[in-house]
Structure 1
Amino acid sequence: MATISKRKRKDGSVAYTAQIRIMRKGQKTHSEAKTFPKKAMAEEWAKRRELELMSPGGLLTAKWRGVTLDDAIERYLHEFAQGAGRSKRATIQQLQRFPIAQVQVTDLTSEQIVGHAVMRRDSGIKPSTINQDITWLGIILKTAAAAWKMPVELNEFESAKVLLRSKGLISRPGSRDRRPTTEEIEQLRAYFRRSQRIRPSAIIPMEDIMDFAIASSRRQEEITRLIWTDLDEQAMTCWVRDAKHPRQKWGNHKRFKLTREAMAIIQRQPRAQGEKKIFPYNGKSIGTRWRAACAACGIEDLRFHDLRHEATSRLFEAGYEIVEVQQFTLHESWDILKRYTHLDPSNVKLK
């Protein structure tokens, strides 16, 4: 399989090139070469390399030699993350900026994975954020093994993950219990009203959108996907298209119950001719307006998504049972629903 050829270099010295070619069914499946100053060295390398290639998985490993984690991430983004949101893509792409991205995928070890986590911890990153790195690293490695047949050492990854969790370097994010206070809501409402007066035709009706989020428990992007033809005013219901689901990104359409407050907000929205959407605004623009309002009002650590927590808690405080609350919020189970439930003891009614 190997041939040794002799040639003269420009400086007059002699070099020996060992060329390995592997043929299967009359076709070349692999070829590689290396040059040495002595013939014995070339022969020794060729024999050793042939044994490596003929060992189980040897040819597959050779095929992917030189492919780095950075290459795998780029391919993953191109083939499997076309519909991913901006924040998700940014999280994946961040891995490409770290030294671990330059490691060959087939050579990646648990030591290198642990080293990445330690480096991130030493730079002040929280375990929950490091966990995102490790989660995406696992997804990319498993995709490389399953979709591209890369000989990835998944056991190395799993060993590193077990160690990182046991040492507290990675952890799941804690449940968030932030609810806006009455004063904060009034501050934001006043800010949005002032903005509306200044530019009535160009400003998103943020007061209505905030109140609708609290009254309906709908997510930011879901609000902008609601359409008039999906609204049933008599039954007080509406459909939300492509509702968030851990495994089903598209086509998960669900019907939800509207509170009286949510219905009233919908009914006062202007309905331009030919406009399908109830709230025809860009979800990212809503997020930008929200952050600007919180900053202007001096309100810290309040996310638009916290309004969903507020809405869910208010439903329980109003006396609705778990199965009834689910008709409004569309949570799949109580385990998920309770993450969004942060009751104020003073609002619990005695029975």
Structure 2
Amino acid sequence: MASYSIQKREKADGTVRHRCLIRVKENGKVLYTEQRTFTKHAAAEAWGKQRVADIETNGFEDDAKPEVMLGDVIARAIAEPHIDATIGRSKRYCLKLLADCDLSKVPLDELKPHHIIEHCKLRRSAGTGPSTISIDVSVIRWLLRIAKSNFGHDVSQVAVIDAYDALYTQGLIAKSGKRSRRPTAIEIDKLKEGLEARSKQRAAHIPFVDLLDFSILSCMRIGEVCRITWTDVDEAQKAVIVRDRKDPRKKSGNHMLVPLLGGAWEILQKQPRYDERVFPYNATSVTAGFQRVRNELGITDLRYHDLRREGASRLFEKGYTIDEVAQVTGHRNINTLWQVYTELFPKRLHDKDI
């Protein structure tokens, strides 16, 4: 049976369009869809009535394009090399999760705010935090954007945009909380002792203590540490090239020459040169070893990434300026470092003469 529905859609420039969707269903299965957009509601309604009458009388073409689900867009995005190359680890994980959710089975042209809200409610009931769920919503909006720009589907981001107010009001999504966790000197001593013992127990020796110290002193992410090659080492400047450093605006090509301070250079120099990489280890294995020792010691709320903040904090405490610390950490946004600095020295203005 053929039917039509009309959706009012507002474009970014404020102009209004009316999309008329023709659909033929049989036993709950969609056999045919067709759509056209008009500037006037009356024109959309007139065309819809006429097309339904034509289909009822003359039938429809059997080679009509099938409905496209959100899951189809996920699969196609991952399969497209130019898109896949821009997908980071977090987004890829989120895409795989979305592909297994009920939301992936919703046709693009039927996606409504309540679908987004229901997905977020299910994620929340499973124990997922609001800041993590907000990543889901951002990725869904990204999928709708590329579905239109890359794959030519007539969709918009309105369903996500219209859901935002309810999602924030109901506490289903939220911005990530600012972390300020630093390991204490006692915690670091305990970690080193535990990591040293773990290094000796492992068949494939991983110098966990060297990696921990180097991560703090260099302010590098563990993935960056494990990517350094000996050809990236600049002996003259006591620095290394950190390749593809994380940048929200670019996914690759962000190479930086980073000085190794406070003993980091000495740690690098003592590593054996049997591999092209200075630290030829899997970053995930290093993190997993750290987490296991941390948990065994009963140290709570400490992540490996917190070592990066610890390193930046130490540089500030030694008197380095924000722009100097940024050369080590690679921060493009100085505001992030400014927050660390103000946490360390909240009373700094009292030391100045006014």
Paired AA for residue 326 in structure 1: A
Counterparts of 2:54 and 2:340, CA distance in 1: 55
Contact map agreement 1:69 1:101 (CA 8 A) in 2 = yes
Distance 1:159 1:47, change over 3 A: closer
Counterparts of 2:292 and 2:317, CA distance in 1: 30
Of residues 271, 275, 297 in structure 2, which corresponds to 1:269? 271
Deviations 1:254-307 (A, max 9, x none): 1111103101111111112xx321111111211121111212222222111110
Distance 1:267 1:191, change over 3 A: same
Distance 1:126 1:196, change over 3 A: closer
Of residues 242, 256, 259 in structure 2, which corresponds to 1:257? 259
Name the counterpart of 2:131: 128
Paired AA for residue 312 in structure 1: A
Name the counterpart of 1:214: 216
Counterparts of 1:77 and 1:291, CA distance in 2: 30
Deviations 1:29-48 (A, max 9, x none): xxx98889xxxxxxxxx984
Distance 1:186 1:70, change over 3 A: same
| 2:206 counterpart SS class | coil
Counterparts of 1:126 and 1:263, CA distance in 2: 39
In the alignment of these two chains, the number of paired residues is 304
Paired AA for residue 266 in structure 2: A
Of residues 177, 181, 185 in structure 1, which corresponds to 2:184? 181
Contact map agreement 2:242 2:257 (CA 8 A) in 1 = yes
Counterparts of 1:153 and 1:343, CA distance in 2: 42
Name the counterpart of 1:23: none
Paired AA for residue 293 in structure 2: A
Matched, 1:294 2:287: no
Contact map agreement 1:65 1:106 (CA 8 A) in 2 = no
Say which is worse superposed, 65-74 or 139-148, in terms of deviation.
65-74
Paired AA for residue 291 in structure 1: Q
Matched, 1:156 2:159: yes
| 2:280 counterpart SS class | coil
Provide the TM-score with structure 2 as the length reference. 0.76
Compare CA radii of gyration and give the structure with the larger one: 1
Name the counterpart of 1:106: 109
Counterparts of 1:281 and 1:132, CA distance in 2: 29
Distance 1:222 1:260, change over 3 A: same
Deviations 1:7-35 (A, max 9, x none): xxxxxxxxxx99xxxxxxxxxxxxx9888
Gaps of 5+ in 2: 3-22, 28-46
Counterparts of 1:225 and 1:70, CA distance in 2: 33
Say which is worse superposed, 278-287 or 161-170, in terms of deviation.
161-170
Counterparts of 1:223 and 1:343, CA distance in 2: 27
Contact map agreement 1:110 1:160 (CA 8 A) in 2 = yes
Residue 347 of structure 1, CA deviation: 12
Residue 223 of structure 1, CA deviation: 0.3
Name the counterpart of 2:19: none
Deviations 1:148-192 (A, max 9, x none): 111114223211124323443321111111111111111111112
Distance 1:346 1:128, change over 3 A: closer
Gaps of 5+ in 1: 1-16, 19-31, 37-45
Counterparts of 2:334 and 2:54, CA distance in 1: 54
Residue 337 of structure 1, CA deviation: 2.4
Contact map agreement 1:309 1:341 (CA 8 A) in 2 = no
Counterparts of 1:52 and 1:164, CA distance in 2: 41
Provide the TM-score with structure 1 as the length reference. 0.76
Contact map agreement 1:64 1:106 (CA 8 A) in 2 = no
Name the counterpart of 1:321: 321
Name the counterpart of 1:147: 150
Distance 1:288 1:48, change over 3 A: same
Residue 215 of structure 1, CA deviation: 0.6
Counterparts of 1:35 and 1:126, CA distance in 2: 41
Of residues 247, 250, 262 in structure 2, which corresponds to 1:248? 250
Name the counterpart of 1:77: 78
Residue 342 of structure 1, CA deviation: 7.4
Counterparts of 1:176 and 1:53, CA distance in 2: 62
Paired AA for residue 337 in structure 1: L
Contact map agreement 1:179 1:310 (CA 8 A) in 2 = yes
Deviations 1:71-113 (A, max 9, x none): 2222222222356455432222212233222211111112222
Counterparts of 1:249 and 1:322, CA distance in 2: 24
Paired AA for residue 66 in structure 1: E
Paired AA for residue 297 in structure 1: L
Distance 1:34 1:262, change over 3 A: closer
| 2:263 counterpart SS class | helix
